[in-house]
């Protein structure tokens, strides 16, 4: 999608500058997790970050989204240093965080407290219903999460993120808790919504095919302390076919980088 | 939930077995008393006749009303104190560190131990039992509310932080509903202890209430039929109070805690 080389683009939407992060283990030993990562993500780009499990992907995501601060280096969004999470970048993670005590509609309205989205409660409810319909949850507005399936919960989570019009979506293995079929279905669903409302997307995953299916660019991380090992442009038209020779060749190349 | 045997799920399955056990206990009681030809221990029939006497002269309802009123006031006050205090202690760690040891020390002291002090401070009017009920039910409810706050899953707090909602919304839509199931458990414990304590407190002093009825029946002519009748009524009302608090578990906003 993004034709220009984002690295060369002036600044970029997200600029990560040599960030490092170490944790202290129980014995007081320093455990470096992220070992110096620099990258730039262009506005509207879909970037996938692939890496072996336990390599520090989630730590990286936490720093990008502002939940953790790097020990060194910095993350800038639109030129401003990220110091805390903000509704400009919404995180969707594997475990999900739809509030079980709120109905679907109340969940969707949760982030709409600022007046920039909707003035009245009536408008907020209408907006919520519009987004519920967009993710295929029409008729379930007043259902509670425990009455929904795993796939429907993910849709609620996506809608709750899209409704606040975030500039960036941080997806941390968003569909990996779903069964294989629902996983595939949600990929298409996500791409369809992104077709309607373009966002900058950062996808963290261990699923190479998922990355190839959706991303414009794929960054492969090394084991801990993680650094960028390789970058692949995915120059294939949508809808992509994983079985196509180009996609398979790309998959082989990425798996080779991962040592498989 | 524990049994998948659908034969036990309907109301007959829930009502008939416990009624059977109660029936067996009454039968055994009757048989034992009849066999020993006890002059002082009443038969079930004598108990029912005695209770009917109290119903007819209206004193039974006066005693029940007096006990319930004391429980209502003491428990209500405890609830008003315990919920805000528990939320605050759960949320603000220094408050927890400061107050928790004090409450953990006060909590194991039997409410009965407070009776002499209660009489000294509040005399033998209504205030003493109200104070004792307050003391007995406030601590379990504080502890339960605090533990409710402490066990809120991090993913929900992270989501709230991500959407950047104001503090009021955070409390109204995340913290309080997340804690509510735990508060209801605290209320069940609290109302149980309160009912236990009111009867004990009324046995010491006062001129009304079910506890007073027990002592008075014994002192005024060894009316053991009325003693046992009071005990049965106390048990029945305890069952009713627990049932009423359990109704709270049916609230839609707390259902999530009890499914799955």
pLDDT digits (tens, 9 = 90+) for A79-99: 889 999 999 999 998 888 999
Q: What is the distance between the alpha carbons of residues A210 and A187, in angstroms, rounded to a whole number?
A: 8
Q: What is the distance between the alpha carbons of residues A19 and A36, in angstroms, rounded to a whole number?
A: 5
* DSSP character at residue B252: G
Residue A182 banded pLDDT, cuts 50, 70, 90: confident
* DSSP character at residue B130: H
Name the burial class of residue A33, with classes exposed (0-12), middle (13-18) and buried (19+) by CB atoms within 10 angstroms of its CB.
buried
Tell me: do A51 and A73 sit in the same domain: yes
Tell me: do A133 and A38 sit in the same domain: no
Per-residue buried b or exposed e for A190-216, using 16+ beta carbons within 10 Å of the residue's own CB: bbebbeeeebbbbbbbbbbbbbbbbbb
Tell me: do A147 and A182 sit in the same domain: no
Tell me: do A82 and A158 sit in the same domain: no
A253 within some domain: yes
Q: CA distances (Å), A11 to each of A45, A60, A79, in order?
A: 14, 20, 7
| Spatial contact of A184 and A29, defined as CB atoms under 8 Å apart | no
Tell me: do A56 and A1 sit in the same domain: yes
Q: What angle do CA B14, B16, B22 make, to 5 degrees?
A: 110
Residue B166 banded pLDDT, cuts 50, 70, 90: confident
Residue A106: helix, strand or coil by DSSP? Answer: helix
Residue of B nearest to A106 (CA): B173
Tell me: do A64 and A21 sit in the same domain: yes
Q: Which of A87, A97, A102 lies at the smallest CB-CB distance from B164?
A: A87
Percent of chain B whose predicted confidence (pLDDT) is above 90:
52
- B49-74 average pLDDT score: 91
Q: Which of B159, B184, B248 to mutate to test the interface with A (most CBs of A within 10 A)?
A: B159
Q: What is the distance between the alpha carbons of residues A161 and A163, in angstroms, rounded to a whole number?
A: 6
Weakest mean pLDDT among A8-22, A129-143, B60-74: A8-22
Weakest mean pLDDT among B38-42, B68-72, B119-123: B38-42
Considering Cα of A39, then A45, then A51, then A56, what sign does the dihedral take? positive
Q: What is the distance between the alpha carbons of residues B60 and A26, in angstroms, rounded to a whole number?
A: 64
Residue A3 banded pLDDT, cuts 50, 70, 90: very low
Peptide bond into A245 cis (omega under 30): no
Query: Which of B80, B66, B81, B75 has its CA nearest to residue B126?
Result: B66
Question: Cβ–Cβ of B164/A85 closer than 8 Å?
Answer: yes
Measured in angstroms, the CA of A114 and the nearest CA of chain B are apart by 8
Q: Where are the alpha helices (DSSP H) in chain A?
A: 57-65, 104-109, 121-134, 150-162, 180-196, 208-214, 245-257
Q: What is the distance between the alpha carbons of residues B15 and A259, in angstroms, rounded to a whole number?
A: 64
Tokens representing residue A46 in the block: 């879909």
Long-range contacts of A116-119 (CB under 8 A, 24+ apart): A117/A163, A117/A164, A117/A165
Q: What is the distance between the alpha carbons of residues A208 and A220, in angstroms, rounded to a whole number?
A: 10
Question: With 90 as the cut, is the pLDDT of residue A193 above it?
Answer: no
Which domain-ending residue is among A165, A200, A219? A165
Give the pLDDT of residue A2: 42
A94 within some domain: no
Element (H, E) at A173: none
| Spatial contact of B111 and B193, defined as CB atoms under 8 Å apart | yes
Question: With 50 as the cut, is the pLDDT of residue A8 above it?
Answer: no
Q: Which of B158, B252, B256 lies at the smallest CB-CB distance from A97?
A: B158
Give the pLDDT of residue A117: 63
A240 within some domain: yes
Which domain-ending residue is among A116, A132, A165? A165
Contacts of A202 (CB under 8 A, 6+ apart): A14, A41, A47, A49, A61, A64, A168, A169, A170, A171
Q: What angle do CA A47, A52, A57 make, to 5 degrees?
A: 50
> Is B116 or A11 the better-scoring residue by pLDDT?
B116
| Spatial contact of B133 and B197, defined as CB atoms under 8 Å apart | yes
Domain count across chain A:
2
Give the pLDDT of residue A114: 62
Contacts of B2 (CB under 8 A, 6+ apart): none
Residue B260 banded pLDDT, cuts 50, 70, 90: low
What is the overall mean pLDDT for chain B? 88
User: In which domain, by residue range, is A22 found?
Assistant: 1-88+168-260
Tokens representing residue A105 in the block: 């509609």
Weakest mean pLDDT among B9-23, B98-112, B179-193: B9-23
- CB A9: neighbour CB atoms within 10 A? 16
Q: Which of A83, A88, A97 to mutate to test the interface with B (most CBs of B within 10 A)?
A: A97
Helix axes B127-150, B176-204, angle to 10 degrees: 150
A200 within some domain: yes
Tell me: do A158 and A178 sit in the same domain: no
A147 within some domain: yes
A247 within some domain: yes
Tell me: do A214 and A250 sit in the same domain: yes
Question: Cβ–Cβ of B162/A65 closer than 8 Å?
Answer: yes
Q: CA distances (Å), A201 to each of A167, A190, A215, B98, in order?
A: 9, 11, 9, 45
Question: What CATH number does the domain containing A202 carry?
Answer: 3.40.50.300
Question: With 60 as the cut, is the pLDDT of residue A19 above it?
Answer: yes
Weakest mean pLDDT among A110-124, B15-29, B95-109: A110-124
Tell me: do A105 and A230 sit in the same domain: no
Tell me: do A82 and A176 sit in the same domain: yes
Tell me: do A80 and A16 sit in the same domain: yes
Tokens representing residue A145 in the block: 């999460």
Question: With 50 as the cut, is the pLDDT of residue B7 above it?
Answer: yes
A10 within some domain: yes
A249 within some domain: yes
Question: Cβ–Cβ of A86/B164 closer than 8 Å?
Answer: yes
| Spatial contact of A98 and A177, defined as CB atoms under 8 Å apart | no
Q: What is the distance between the alpha carbons of residues A107 and A91, in angstroms, rounded to a whole number?
A: 15
Tokens representing residue B259 in the block: 């499914």
Which chain B residues are within 8 Å of A89, Cβ to Cβ?
162
> Is A202 or B7 the better-scoring residue by pLDDT?
A202
Tell me: do A153 and A178 sit in the same domain: no
Which domain-ending residue is among A138, A165, A192? A165
């Amino acid at each position: 999608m993004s034709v220009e080389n984002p690295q060369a683009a002036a600044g970029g939407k997200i600029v990560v500058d040599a960030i490092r992060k170490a944790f202290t283990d129980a014995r007081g030993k320093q455990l470096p997790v992220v070992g110096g990562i620099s990258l730039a993500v262009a506005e509207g780009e879909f970037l996938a970050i692939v890496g072996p499990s336990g390599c520090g992907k989630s730590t990286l995501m936490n720093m990008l989204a502002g939940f953790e601060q790097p020990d060194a280096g910095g993350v800038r969004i639109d030129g401003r240093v990220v110091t805390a999470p903000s509704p400009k970048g919404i995180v969707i993670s594997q475990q999900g965080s739809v509030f079980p005590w709120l109905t679907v509609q109340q969940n969707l309205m949760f982030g709409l407290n600022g007046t920039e989205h909707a003035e009245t409660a009536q408008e907020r409810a209408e907006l919520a219903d519009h987004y519920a319909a967009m993710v295929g949850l029409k008729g379930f507005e007043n259902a509670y999460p425990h009455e929904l399936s795993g796939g429907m919960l993910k849709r609620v989570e996506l809608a709750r993120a899209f409704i606040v019009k975030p500039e960036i979506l941080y997806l941390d293995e968003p569909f990996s808790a779903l069964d294989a079929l629902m996983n595939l279905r949600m990929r298409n669903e996500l791409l369809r919504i992104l077709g309607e409302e373009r966002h900058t997307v950062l996808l963290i995953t261990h699923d190479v095919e998922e990355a190839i299916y959706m991303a414009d660019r794929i960054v492969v991380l090394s084991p801990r302390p993680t650094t960028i090992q390789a970058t692949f442009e995915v120059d294939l038209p949508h809808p992509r076919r994983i079985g196509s020779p180009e996609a398979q060749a790309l998959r082989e190349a990425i798996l080779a980088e991962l040592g498989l | 939930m524990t049994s998948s045997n659908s034969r036990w799920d309907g109301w007959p399955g829930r009502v008939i077995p416990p009624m059977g056990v109660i029936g067996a206990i009454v039968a055994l009681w009757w048989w034992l008393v009849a066999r020993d030809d006890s002059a002082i221990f009443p038969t079930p029939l004598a108990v029912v006749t005695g209770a009917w006497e109290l119903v007819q002269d209206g004193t039974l309802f006066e005693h029940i009303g007096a006990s319930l009123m004391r429980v209502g006031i003491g428990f209500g006050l405890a609830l008003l104190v315990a919920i805000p205090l528990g939320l605050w202690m759960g949320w603000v760690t220094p408050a927890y560190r400061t107050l928790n040891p004090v409450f953990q020390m006060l909590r194991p002291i039997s409410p009965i131990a407070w009776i002499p002090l209660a009489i000294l401070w509040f005399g033998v009017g209504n205030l003493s039992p109200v104070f004792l009920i307050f003391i007995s039910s406030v601590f379990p409810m504080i502890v339960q509310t605090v533990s409710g706050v402490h066990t809120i899953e991090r993913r929900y707090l992270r989501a709230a932080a991500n959407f950047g909602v104001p503090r009021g919304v955070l409390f109204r839509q995340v913290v309080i509903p997340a804690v509510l199931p735990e508060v209801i458990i605290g209320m069940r414990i609290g109302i149980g202890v309160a009912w236990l304590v009111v009867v004990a407190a009324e046995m010491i002093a006062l001129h009304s209430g079910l506890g007073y009825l027990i002592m008075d029946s014994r002192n005024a002519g060894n009316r053991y039929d009325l003693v046992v009748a009071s005990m049965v009524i106390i048990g029945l009302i305890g069952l009713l109070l627990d049932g009423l608090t359990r109704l709270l578990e049916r609230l839609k906003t707390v259902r999530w805690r009890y499914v799955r």
